[in-house]
Structure 1
Amino acid sequence: MKLNLPTTLAACAALLPGASATIFYAGVAESSGEFGAWSPTAQVGTGLPGRFGVDYAFISNSGVDIMADKHKVNLFRVAFLLERMCPLSYGLGAKFNETHFDHFKESIDYITKKKGAYAILDPHNYMRYNNPSSQPFSGSVIGNSSDPTAATTAQFGAFWGELAKRFADNEKVIFGLMNEPHDMPSSLNLANLQAAIDGIRKTGAKNLIITPGNSWSGGHYWTKGGAEANSNWIQKLVDPLKNLAVDIHEYLDEDFSGGHLACTQEPAKNLAGVTAWLKENKLKAFITEFGGSNTTACVTMLNDMLDYMSNNEEYIGWTAWAAGPFWGPNSPCCTDQKQYGSLEPGSKAADGGPSLYDTIWLPVISKKVPAKLQWSGPASVNGGELTSR
């Protein structure tokens, strides 16, 4: 008798053939689409909707050109704010600010159609909606039924259904469900993520989906936290198309935030737990945020991080934090290394000197971009044909 059982994330990955460690996708996170909404007094509505090209932007075409053409990267993770895509007057859901969407789509099309690379859509909202003025802590947790101002789980699913419908015909678009959910029940995080997956697949979209965990999606904490640990929840997600991977973040500083100059956290040691969990559940993962400053320890640990991913078959892609036309000295808050600039080509440190593009990307990260990556075909948890460019 044939049983029509639901396909969990773990069951999906169990069907994948065995393979040696391969990175199919490598590149940078583009941080600027979430800019312009910060308020030191947490003033609700600050920077909304904002002025495109003045308060925020998504990419610099020239920066993408250099990364794709010179450094041969094939993946860009592009941040945006839910409150700009779905203004507060509409609420979270299927009704968009069409002008804002058009700007966003233009950037995604440039990456995927003009440059032939892949793009991760990144709602940079920490599983919150309605007040990004003091991210990452402001705003109502999506699906929190005890908060009358919170968007519902169903609204989150409707949002992703609409966004997926608009990109379903672009096989090089990857749906990153949410940036860094945190400080919420893992059961609610799971419900929200499943609603998003369901909304996406109901449209007929076959695109690769990457799912975060709770607790900032931190790899070092994935198996910790008792009953709330991501390792007890994320493998329960169901994707009928079996095209779902895990989205992990892992910084190297003292509190794993990426906000401090010194690198003190050894990546291999701190990723051992989540890697074992991935292996046990036969899952694949991307690390879509990692980074460090231009200290000797950071250089060593960044090399170790990139080597670790290349040597463990559970990892199929990565994006380093961060490039973007506004990231670096213009970062609104919360980092003691913003004076060092960003990974954006042509950017400068706050004092006009070399930026992290010059001191970290060129001598360290760029040298670890694989010579062969996937440049054609749909983004997939299985990867695709590897070619040089």
Structure 2
Amino acid sequence: MKLQWSKQFFRIHRIMGLIAGILLLLLSITGSMLVFSDEIDHAQYANAYHVTPETQSRSLQELMQDARQSLPGNPYLFFVRLPQAPDESIVLRAEYAADHKVYVFLNPYTGKILQQYANTDHLTGYVLYLHFTLLNGKTGATIVLIAAIALFFSVLTGIFIYRNAIVKVLTFRVKPEWNNRTRRWRNLHRILGVWALLFNLLISLTGFMMELKVLDSRKNPKASFEAVPFAGDYEPLLEKAKASIPGFEIMGVRPPKKAGDPLRILGHAHESAFFGEYSSSVFIDAGGNIKKTVNFSNASFGDKFNACIAPLHFGNYGGIILKIIYSLLALTPGVLSVSGFLIWYRRKYIIKVHNRI
């Protein structure tokens, strides 16, 4: 009975790996790149992120108008990142539809446009879109979701299959044996699978959760976003938001998406970077009244879990050492899919042919 269960788990493990196969290789390579997305963007567009400090900044309302003049149509426009230092630019994002967004970098002192590109017109944006949607909107996102599920079950069944080898691998008693044709890929598969066990469970689970959000935003692919007029001055509202949460640092501002909706001011109150820079927020209505405050230090477990999904998936909550580790581990699903395929191919074809001869 135990042998039958082992065979079934091995069969599921093999099928899940073969289904995800080439897709896991693609997701591994793109995921490994996205760990360093901030560094890549800053290197590629160094002039867009920094300005020469001046004495007086333009108002946020004026800067929004500056950005809007460079954009066709009437997209929903919001402040992705406000300057956190005198020499930083201000970044806005125009949303036309779920798959069409444009980023605008402005000099906060002059309103001059420093850089402008669509979400897939720059390297990391293209890679991100490829990673989550395979450049094919809802259909591609569904395929990626299936791959995440396949990876999750592949890891779970792998735990059962290699349960007796886990301690041996972690104590370095299993060697790659590159000179042994019959064992090289099997041992590599086993070693990488064990060492990346928790990481791949984490990546598949967080990837699944994020992909659900991607699919939710594409329920109606033809839906377009348009700006709702907001005539108020942002600066007094920002000051009111700062006073409502002790130590609140404002990172971005989202105007109303629908008539009657409040303005949302996002930032953090020096919570752990594990939860990102936009974990706390203040909602203010058109009359300047605070409707809701979300102080993340008092957030529920559910809110904290949701906030840490993206940082855990991308590894952008730590320094360069953590990012290097994440980047290397992100390659393991792809390597495991290749080595798993070679193990399967050898058993199914090479060994069978050899035995017949």
How does the TM-score come out when normalised to structure 1?
0.21
Return the structure number with greater relative CO, CA threshold 8 A, min gap 6: 2
Q: Larger Cα Rg: Structure 1 or Structure 2?
A: 2
How does the TM-score come out when normalised to structure 2?
0.22
